[in-house]
Amino acid sequence: MKPEQLPEEENIDLPGQMAFYPELETADPAPHIMLQNPIPAPELSQLEQWKRSILFSDILLRFQGKLPERWLYDIIVGGGFLNYFLYADSLGALIDHGAVVMMPDEDGENCCVLTETGSRNAQNLRLMVPKVFRDQVHLKALHYVTRQKALRDLHISYEDAEQGCRLCLRCMDHGQEMFFLRISAPSKESAEELGERVLRNPARFFGKILDLALTNEAEPFDLRNN
């Protein structure tokens, strides 16, 4: 019985295989399965529920074990990492196991507070969560918390002007007004962009103003040709 003849494999030029025959190289790039079908980036929702809970605890641990629940929601759900249902399941598991308790702060806002058990679990198990997820979520949390803390002491408003818009910055320190600064901008969009840049680091912004005020000197005059 004559064996069935297998179809010949299609010859595919691989990058660099014709290096010794440059005149035979083709202009078209060689087909590459990874380029045609790239692997999608991993998503936090693909993790097991207990790993997501550990990541929540790790975020709280970074901020002294306490964050307003609204902030945690904005970081995880508002940041596009999880939907509401997976977020609620992960946080609910921490509460059920005594790793997190909900307590109001001095302003009456509901906060997620890490217990001793939750803190110990976060320290011991945080490396079980892949670093790619830890880096993504922690970076988002750092930016968000920095912005929210800045907004507590820095009040930003916008005033319409005949020509453009004015950015109004009012800096408070323990209830006492430290600065009131008004900056004119050509448009509302420009004023909002300027306000966002100030919010990146308000302390540095106002610190530079103080440094300039304390080191400011009168312009010297040259009288040699008088």
pLDDT at 6: 52
**Residues counted in the chain:** 226
Local mean pLDDT, 10-residue blocks, the chain (226 residues): 54 54 57 57 85 95 94 94 94 94 89 94 92 93 89 85 88 78 90 88 82 86 82
Cβ atoms of 142 and 79 closer than 8 Å: no
Q: 50: buried, middle or exposed (CB in 10 Å: 19+, 13-18, 0-12)?
A: middle
Q: What per-residue confidence (pLDDT) applies to 92?
A: 94
- The pLDDT score that the predictor gives to residue 8 is 53
For 44-129, CATH number? 1.10.10.10
Rounded CA-CA distance 183/158 in Å is: 10
| Whole-angstrom distance, CA of residue 186 vs CA of residue 118 | 51
> What is the pLDDT at residue 85?
95
- Looking at residue 210, its pLDDT comes to 83
- The whole-angstrom separation of Cα 56 and Cα 121 is 11
Instruction: Give the helix/strand (H/E) hosting 91.
Output: helix 84-96
pLDDT score recorded for residue 70: 94
Q: Which two tokens stand for residue 23?
A: 């005149």
Query: DSSP readout, 104-171?
Result: E-TTS-EEEEE-HHHHHHHHHHGGGS-HHHHHHHHHHHHHHHHHHHHHHHEEEEEEE-SSSEEEEEEE
Closest CA to 31 of 8, 12, 11, 17: 12
For residue 74, what pLDDT is reported?
95
pLDDT at res. 178: 79
